[in-house]
Structure 1
Amino acid sequence: MNYNEFKAKIFTECPEVKEEYDALGPQYEIIRAEIKSRKAAGMTQKELAERMGTAQANISRFESGNYNPTLAFLQKMARSLGKTLKITME
């Protein structure tokens, strides 16, 4: 059984797992966007951290999903990557 088959099976058998998975979507969306932007800029975690005035460990924790960032942290990160942060409610 591959990952997609497993995911479909568990979502069918345990709707609460799908609910939690969907709830984490926005968090992982911003992580993916940051990693993509950082790599496109040719930056390491350490370089991004230096631009932000934070520790590399904070970038690592953010990228691994083990850090719940503040809005200020996300804004500083976006600016350091030459991006703007846009948040929408749909």
Structure 2
Amino acid sequence: MELNTLELKNDLHALVSNTNDEDVLLRVKEYFTELKNKEDWWHSLTSQQKNNVEIGTQQLENRQKFSNDEVRIEVNKLLKRK
């Protein structure tokens, strides 16, 4: 079941209200503050990097992917040729 924003806020509020452990509350506050202040990594990418991510995402959606083992085999083949 997917929660809407209001339900999620209510659930978080209930968790905080029912917690008396100051250490837990401080850690949650620090984590929440960090998340709110953290810059989205997407904005730090160059246009070429963004393009590469978009191409990779499209390839995954089109089921054009290789397993780690498949890539390792191909790389080993290329390295042995040189």
For normalisation by structure 1, the TM-score amounts to 0.33
Higher alpha-carbon Rg? 2
More helix by share: 2
Higher relative contact order (CA 8 A, sep 6+): 1
